[in-house]
Amino acid sequence: MPATLTGAFVANLIEIHATALARPGAIARMDDLVMDGIAVGLAGANEPGPALLADQARGMMGGAEPAGATLLAREGLLPPVVAARINGAAMHVLDYEPMWNPANHAVSTVLPALLALAETDGAAAMDGPAVLAAFATGIEAQARLRRASRQFEPGDLVFHPPSVVGPIGSAIACGLLLRLDAEALCHAVGIAASRAGGVLINVGSMTKALHCGAAAADGLEAAQLAARGFTADPDVLDGPRGYLRAFFGDDTDNDALTVDAPLAATDPGPAFKFYPSQYGTHFVISAALALRASLPDDARIETVTITCPPMPYVDRPSPASGLAGKFSFQYVAAVALLDGRVNLASFTDARRFRADVEALLTRIKIKSDPGREGRFDRMRVDLEVQLAGGATRRSMCDGPDGIWGRPVTGDRLATKARDCLVAAQMPADLLHELTHVSRLDATALRRLIGRLGREAR
């Protein structure tokens, strides 16, 4: 195969895949990511968006198939590509999956495809370690593409990142699990590249989660097509009409695709989320909760000022729904200050339109500071509350719990997963198996995936 940029990218990922789980801390990290991703997906499965996707799929097929891939927390089986799309949307719809640096959603774009493939392909080699190694490499592919883009600030973005890099990450991961050779993997990347792209205006709508579900499904289908001999341009990344220029313009860092660097899954690794909302809102939530804890019980809030980097996409003074509230600095400040907590119920329409929230939203303003960076690894948010009587309270956050460099304990992740299982009304004993997927052989892994559907309850 001729030397090309795409070929070098693929060859580099094949080398990384061979030793991914031997990296320090990799197995434990990948186990945590699988547990967190599946738990969040179970909790999100019956949200309106994934439910509509499942209904649409069944309607097109005339019902569930007697054989196929499991739908998270739902009845029936569907073809792997279809199940990956629905499960990917379920993993992302709550905005509860980890954040990455550069910003991306690398779990919902890859893990659902690998689960569907491992459950239905029937290859004995598709055990827990094989899935984790492929998963780590799919994350790596996305990280390298994001670094190559040079789009680090929110204002740099033209498309939603997981919709651009996710299909290729999924194609790489699935192709490796299918044991494709380098040439076939290049074709899988090429096929996936033509499925990429989701516009940012859909952030805050049901379609945002579909970006991630579609990425998982399109990458899986690309790998399956390449396994059958379907072809694409062998150097899809490069050239004036290639993927990199189409999505990132002329100033890409091509060396980032092949540079010798730590495994992205462990360094810098994920920033695990403990609130189900857009990651920037976690800075506001953390500051607001800290401030709320300092207020007297009878405090009456007159005004709230949020000082932050210029971030127009989360400056939403009156979000149209609880879902849209996940992307509103004003809304998360309001519910954190009013309730002293932020959880799944915080983002329902019932909470969004209660009188106390409506009243406080009108008294919250954002002060954009052009001198502050919007990168999550360099960001700071300040909160100031004016109370009736003239007293002032202030707080700040330069990184929520779980951000890079501030790891949380495994117990806290397990508690989050347990809460998600309860929300999904799934058996509590699933948690033990989800905690140690790296120890499962192919049969045990398939059995676990099968238990994630509604029939297991």
**pLDDT at position 67, please?**
76
- Rg (Cα) of the chain, in Å, rounded? 22
Tell me the three state secondary structure of residue 439.
Answer: helix
Fold classification of 279-397 (topology level): 60s Ribosomal Protein L30; Chain: A; (3.30.1330)
215: buried, middle or exposed (CB in 10 Å: 19+, 13-18, 0-12)? buried
228: phi then psi, degrees, rounded to nearest 5: -90, -5
Tokens (6 digits) for 205: 């709508």
**pLDDT at position 456, please?**
43
Query: Quick one: CATH architecture of 5-274+408-456?
Result: Orthogonal Bundle (1.10)
User: Which of 251, 20, 285, 39 minimizes the C-alpha distance to 135?
Assistant: 20
**pLDDT at position 457, please?**
41
What is the arithmetic mean of pLDDT over 365-382? 96
**pLDDT at position 62, please?**
78
In sequence order, which residues have a C-beta less than 8 Å from that of residue 338 and are 6 or more positions away? 356, 357, 360
Read out DSSP for 96-161?
-SPB-SSS---STTTHHHHHHHHHHS--TT-SHHHHHHHHHHHHHHHHHHHHHHT--SGGG-SB-H
| pLDDT tens for each residue of 306-315 | 999 999 999 9
Residue 122 has pLDDT above 90, yes or no: no
- Give the percent of the chain with pLDDT over 70: 97
**pLDDT at position 1, please?**
56
What is the arithmetic mean of pLDDT over 120-145? 91
The structure's pTM equals 0.95
CA dist., res. 49 & res. 208, Å (int): 10
Average pLDDT in the chain = 95
**pLDDT at position 325, please?**
97
Domain borders along the chain are 5-274+408-456, 279-397
